Amino acid sequence: MTTTPTVPATPAEALRGLCAGRVHLPGDPGYDAARTPWNLAVDQRPAAVAIPHSAEEVAEVVRAAVAAGLRVAPQSTGHGAGPLGEVALDDVVIVRLSELTGVTVDPGARTARVVGGTLWHDVVAAAAPHGLTAMHGSAGDVAVAGYALSGGLSFYGRTHGVAANSIRSVEVVTADGSLVRASASEQPELFWALRGGGGNLGVVVALEIDLLPYADVYAGMLLWPRDRAPEVVRAWAAWTDGVPESVTTSLRVMSFPPLPELPPFLSGRQLVVVDGAVLEGDERAAELLAPLRALEPEMDTFARIPATGLVAVHMDPPGPVPAVSDHAVLASLPEEAISAYLAEIGPGTTTSLMFAELRHLGGALGRPVPDGGAISHVDGAYALYCVAPAPSPEVAALGRADAVAMCAALEPWTTGGRLVTFTDGAVDISTGFGENWDRLRRARADVDPTRVFVANHGV
C-alpha cells in the first residue's frame, strides 16, 4: 500500500483564503512561482506568499500573520532579495506587491501617486505625456518602493540628489494592521525613518513622489573594446573630477557571453562602457563630452532622447536573472586605485565578473538635505558595484569571490560606508545610515516593537 505524504498544518494555514485565495503555502501549486524573486539566484522559502490587490488586503494579511505568530516581509520585485535567501524564513510571510500597482500623475503639482509595487518604467511612461520624468535608476523593472525607500541612485542624481528625497508622503500598513499616512506634517518621525528604513517599518501601499521637469535628456553611452580600458578608465576618472553637477555617469568594464539574444556589439565581447546623462543643452553637453569622444569610441549613442529612453541606456537585463554582487563606496579614485581596479578586471585578467561598475557620486548626491529622511545623501566620490552571473551555486561562489576580491583590492580607498540599494548579502547595514543609525533603530522600535517586519536589510 502506498501512502501520500501530507504536508503538516502550519501557522500559515490561518492565512488561507485571504487575498481572494492568492496566498500560497509550501506544497501549493503556485508556491514556487510566487516565492521566486527577480534575482533567480535567491532561494527564499517563506511560510507563505500573499499577493494582495488592495491596501485592505495588505492590512488583513498583516493582522492574520501577527495573530498566527508569523513575521511579514514586504517585497515588490525581489531585485533586492539577496539577503532573504541567506536566512530562515519559515516563520515569515512574504507580501508580494507585484499586483498592487498604479500611477496617477498630478502635472500641476509635478507629483505622482505611485501604488505599492509599481515599477519605474510605468511611472516614467505615465509622466512623459506631461513633459515630466522621475528619479528612476538604471533599470525600469525595479520597483519605486524598494529603490526610493532605500536611497536610490539615478542618472539625475548629481543634480537632484538621492531618490529618497523625492518622496513627499508614504501610505504604510504598520505592525498592528493599521493604514497610516506619513509626511512632513503627519507622523513626521515615521516619515523620516521610512525614507531609508523602508521595509523595516511596514508594508508601503502608496508613495507620493516629486517628478522632474524633463521631457527629453542628453544621454547615451560610449563603448570601447576592453583593451582600451587602461586609457579609458584613467581618462574618465580625470574627467569626472572636473565635470559639473549636471553630469552623472557610470563606467563599467564588462564581459558578455556569446548569446544569440544579445546584439552583435555585445555578444561574446569584453568592453569598457561609459554611460549616463548630461542635463544641459546639446551644445554644452557635446562640449562636456568632448574629452571622452576624443578617445574615439567604437560606438557613441549620446544624443538628445526622450526622457523615457533613459531607463534603457544602461542595458540592464530585460527580465529576471541569477546574479551575485558586492559593492563599496570609494572616497577617491587615484592612480593607485585605478591600477588596482585594472589588475582585477583590465586587459589580460580573467574574472567571472560580468561587470565592475564605477558610478560617479558627489554633487547633490553628497549633500545632506535638511528635511530629508534616514538616507538623504551619500558620502563618497564613486560607488563600486561588482556583479557576476550565478546560474548555479558553484558559479555563484566563484562570482561572489571575484566581487569580494575586487572590493578588497580597492579597500584602501573605501569610505567604509554602504549604499543600501547596492548591498546584496545579509551584512551589517549600519554604515549605510551613518550617524542616523541609532535614531532609525529607535524609530523602528517605536513603530514595530515586536519586530514583525523583515526587510532585506534589517534595522
Largest CA distance in the chain: 82
Tally helices (H) and strands (E) across the chain.
Answer: 11, 17
Closest distance to ligand FAD from the beta carbon of 143 (Å): 3
* Continuous H helices in 52-197: 55-67, 120-127, 144-148, 157-160, 188-197
Q: Mark residues 195-224: x for contact with ligand FAD by CB under 6 A, - for none.
A: ---xx---xx--------------------
User: Which one, 183 or 339, has the nearer CB to ligand FAD?
Assistant: 183
Contact (CB, 8 A) for 110 and 213: yes
Residues between 180 and 199 with contacts to ligand FAD, criterion CB under 6 A: 198-199
* Residue span binding ligand FAD (CB under 6 A) among the ranges 2-10, 74-82, 285-293, 431-439: 74-82
From the CB of residue 229, how many other CB atoms can be counted at a distance below 10 Å?
22
Establish if 78 lies at the interface with ligand FAD (CB under 6 A).
yes
In this complex, which beta carbon is closest to ligand FAD, that of residue 147 or of residue 239? 147
Nearer to ligand FAD, 173 or 342 (CB): 173
Sign of CA dihedral 305, 359, 394, 35: negative
Question: By C-alpha distance, which of 102, 44, 103, 54 is closest to 75?
Answer: 44
Residue 49 makes contact with ligand FAD by CB under 6 A? no
Residues of this chain, 291-320, that bind ligand FAD according to CB under 6 A: 316
Q: Does 116 bind ligand FAD (CB under 6 A)?
A: yes
Q: Is the Cβ of residue 131 or residue 458 nearer to ligand FAD in the bound state?
A: 458
Q: List CB contacts of 20: < 8 A, sequence separation 6 or more.
A: 53, 57
When the beta carbons of 228 and 236 are compared against ligand FAD, the nearer one is: 236
Q: Where are the beta strands (DSSP E) in 193-348?
A: 203-210, 216-225, 247-255, 270-278, 299-300, 303-306, 323-330
Q: Is 389 in the site for ligand FAD (CB under 6 A)?
A: no
DSSP state string for 310-363: GGGTT---SS-B-EEEEEEEES---HHHHHHHHHHHSTT-----SEEEEEE--G
Q: Check residue 322 for interaction with ligand FAD (CB under 6 A).
A: no
Please state the length of the chain: 459
Query: Does position 139 bind ligand FAD by CB under 6 A?
Result: yes
- Given the complex with ligand FAD, which of 323 and 342 has the nearer CB atom? 323
CB of 382 closer than 8 Å to CB of 361: yes
Q: How far apart are CA 366 and CA 161, in angstroms?
A: 7
Give least dist CB 275 to ligand FAD, A.
Answer: 11
Contact window for ligand FAD (CB under 6 A) among 76-84, 86-94, 231-239, 285-293: 76-84
Q: How many other β-carbons are positioned within 10 Å of the β-carbon of residue 294? A: 9
* Cβ nearer to ligand FAD, comparing 285 with 365: 365
Binders of ligand FAD among 412-441, rule CB under 6 A? 421
Per CB under 6 A, does 46 bind ligand FAD?
Answer: no
Binding positions for ligand FAD, rule: CB under 6 A: 74-81, 97, 116-117, 137-139, 142-143, 145-147, 149-150, 152-153, 198-199, 203-204, 316, 421, 455-456
